[in-house]
Structure 1
Amino acid sequence: MRGRALLPLALLAAAAPVPEPPRLTFPLACALGKDCAIQSYQDDDPGPGVRDYRCGGRTYAGHGGTDIRLTSMAQQRRGVNVLAAAPGVVRGIRDGEPEMSMRRRPAGDIAGKECGNGVVIAHPGGWQTQYCHMARGSIAVRPGQAVATGAVLGRVGLSGDTEFPHLHLSVRHDGDTVDPFAWGAAAGQCRGGRSLWANTPAYAEGHVLVAGFAAGPVTMDAVQEEGAGQVPPPRRDTPLVAFAQAIGLQGGDAQRMVLRAPDGQVLADNRAPPLDRDKAQVILFAGKKAPAGGWPAGTYRSEYQVIRSGRVAIERRDAITL
């Protein structure tokens, strides 16, 4: 060792490479924007306010993860797999928690079990991912098991602190929660940091979760329980109602639903007053009773819009042929 000065231990430690974070893949077996949607992003505001990684309001105070929502309980019952977002080793699981809306459970019943049925995976370098609200009896891995990216962990459920079927994904480094859309952003900063996603899911100001046509007025519960495909469809001798359920709306948003005849004539035009506060989900419909002799044969169209600060933030068009 003559002629080679030894480096101080502190310098040796500083020179050690920083472990790279995991590259995340989408953790659900669904098509984002078609049969699932991001309900809430992580709250990156360090104070009492709320702010997502794009400076928007698609979150709520203290939310420490990303919520990916299914369109209905009917879809959940058919089964949607939860997938490992990165390779690692299963650190822990919980199974056996009941599946029901938190509104139906006694006060305090989910204390300490807000995640419901779930899985925690450890990744190299002190990283972890956690998957919550899974279906009871669906957990397909065990502690200590090595899993590859895309491995099936279980299925989406309705366990723990939730009102609708979704996956809550948390990412942590050395025990601290990390926003996977903005790793390394300064506290309180938005539009900063680095994405941990291999393919970053597109940001949306809001989303139409379910839309379609019915033979009468529709309710949020009916649409969410059975899905749009199970709502009684209109016929030429029934009322014709167009509806849309949207998520991620903000206070001041104005909704409009227009129903048009095959020739373009407006049959119904429902303009809802501006929302008085942020809404996680809303439903709006517009319709009309069948005329004498029934609806003329043809294609009927609906146009749903959410106007935010004078511009169209969310839009959806649908059609049905009678």
Structure 2
Amino acid sequence: MTRAFRQALAALSLTVAAPAAADPPALSLPIDCTLGTSCYIEDYVDARPGEGQRDYTCGLKSRDGHRGTDIVLLSFEAMVQGVDVLAAAPGVVDATRDGMEDVAVSAETREAIRGRECGNAVRIDHGDGWKTLYCHLQKGSLQVQNGTRVEAGDVLARVGLSGLTNVPHVHLGVLKDGKIIDPFNPETSETCGTATGDGLWKDAPDYHRAGLFTAGFSGDVPDFDAVKSGRARIETARGYSNLVLYGHVFFAEAGDRLDFVINGPEGEVFRNDVTLEAPQAQLFRAMGRKAPEDGWPAGEYRGYVTLSREGHILAVRHADVEVMR
């Protein structure tokens, strides 16, 4: 367990009550959404010791040192509308935190949340050393307190943007005697490609190895090296600049679809899609619009790139750019 994660756990308020000894919890989805339709899994527990990352299948869907399962909403607008975070299994709430703002992390805010990377949170004790942790909850949305007994599916809070995150999602952490457990591969968190069955899940969510590394804005269609290095990305643009949105994809299959949407201060600016013709380990696509004759209105613009397969959403990435006149 990383030092930051230990600090995050220690910072939560605890109670002395705990349920009686129990078998490992059988987990249900900890969020009121439909995978592939209104949410998707972006990151899994990092199964690679040391530097680098691998998910439980030896795939790319994790981050170095990541200690949970991230279930992500498709947009910030969905968060504003409200999506419930649910108890994954029966137990007793033994830790909560509220009061942190729902603000995407930045270089300016990173130090202020140190030791509270989990954001607003709920922890549930399931007995016999098993606990689940729910991070990045919306400020003021908690429906439980220390000592509350919950059943699987009970509402804990709403999905938010608190703590160390820049996208609305719930981070589900599973612990046994304080050790991080991968619910997809509970026998070990240091190997990948060995998991069988549903793990700790009642019905394990399907795994898809394809995803999006990133999305970004550029002034023109970039070259692939600039996309991979990050040099293509712009954060500000002039009113008469082109607005090009790109998405960097991994493990695409023939027939996969990429949807591009750009919204600005006056509403939708651009929408288009492309169907991929061949499987590729990595690729990028870019789409956008030239500036209108009188230039873009000044303000914040947000783009979404969505990867889907046969109507099932596999990944979404967003990018922001500020247009200045």
Q: If the length of structure 1 is used for normalisation, what is the TM-score?
A: 0.64
Aligned to 1:155: 158
Q: Structure 1 316/186 Cα, relative in aligned 2: closer, same or farther at 3 Å?
A: closer
What percent of counterpart residues are identical? 38
The letter for the 1-side match of 2:208 is A
Contact 2:129 2:176 (C-alpha < 8 Å) held by counterparts: yes
Secondary structure of 1:76's aligned partner? helix
CA distance in 2, matches of 1:26, 1:69: 12
CA distance in 1: counterparts of 2:169 and 2:268, whole angstroms = 22
Amino acid corresponding to residue 167 of structure 1 in structure 2: V
- Equivalents in 1 of 2:110, 2:188: separation in Å? 37
Aligned to 1:118, which of 121, 131, 140?
121
- The alpha carbon displacement at 1:205 in A equals 1.5
Corresponding residue for residue 133 of structure 1: 136
Cα distance in 2, alignment partners of residues 203 and 51 from structure 1: 14
Larger mean CA deviation between 145-154 and 101-110 belongs to: 101-110
**Per-residue Cα deviation, 1:108-166 (whole angstroms, up to 9, x for no partner):** 11111001001000002110000000100000101001001100000000000000101
Question: C-alpha distance in 1, partners of 2:105/2:184?
Answer: 28
Aligned mates of 1:161, 1:225 — CA distance in 2? 25
Q: Distance in 1 between matches of 2:205 and 2:262?
A: 24
Q: 1:218 to 1:142 in 2, by over 3 A?
A: farther
Count of matched residue pairs = 231
| Matched residue type, 1:148 | E
Distance 1:186 1:104 in 2: 30
Deviation at 1:286, TM superposition (A): 6.2
The Cα offsets for residues 67-98 of structure 1, whole Å up to 9 and x where unpaired, read as 11001110100000000000000001000001
1:72 maps to a residue whose letter is S
| CA distance 1:225–1:61, change in 2 (3 Å) | farther
Q: Which residue of 2 aligns with 1:292?
A: none
**Structure 2 partner of 1:247:** none
User: In 1, Cα distance between the equivalents of 2:175 and 2:196?
Assistant: 15
1:242 corresponds in structure 2 to 272
Query: Partner of 2:204 in structure 1?
Result: 200
* Counterpart residue number, 1:56: 59
CA distance in 2, matches of 1:81, 1:19: 26
Equivalent in 279, 282, 285 of residue 253 of structure 1: 282
Matched, 1:24 2:54: no
Following superposition, the deviation at residue 48 of structure 1 comes to 1.3
| Bigger Cα Rg | 1
For 2:30 and 2:111, the matched residues in 1 are separated by 29
Q: 1:317 to 1:117 in 2, by over 3 A?
A: closer
Partner residue, 1:267: none
Q: 2:255 is matched with which residue?
A: none
Tell me if the contact between 1:218 and 1:243 (Cα under 8 Å) persists in the aligned partners.
no
Query: SS in structure 1 opposite 2:113?
Result: coil
Structure 1 runs (4+) deviating above 2 angstroms are 104-107, 185-194, 216-220, 222-226, 230-233, 284-289, 314-318
Do 1:55 and 1:191's aligned partners in 2 also have CA atoms closer than 8 Å? no
- The answer to whether the 8 A contact 1:117-1:134 is kept is yes
Please say if residues 72 and 225 of structure 1, whose CA atoms lie closer than 8 Å, have aligned partners that are also in contact. no
In the alignment, residue 159 of structure 1 is paired with which amino acid? S
The whole-number CA distance in structure 1 between the counterparts of 2:181 and 2:70 is 14
Work out the CA distance in 2 between the residues paired with 1:73 and 1:170: 23
| Superposition TM-score, scaled by structure 2 size | 0.63
**CA-to-aligned-CA distance 1:275-300 (integer Å, 9 cap, x gap):** xxxxxxxxx326799xxxxxxxxxxx
Distance 1:26 1:146, change over 3 A: same
Aligned residue identity for 1:204:
H
Give me the whole-angstrom Cα distance separating, in 2, the residues matched to 1:100 and 1:305.
23
- Contact 1:20/1:125 (<8 A) preserved: yes
Q: Distance in 1 between matches of 2:289 and 2:110?
A: 40
- Inter-partner Cα distance in structure 1 for 2:134 and 2:170: 7
- CA RMSD of the aligned region, Å? 3.4
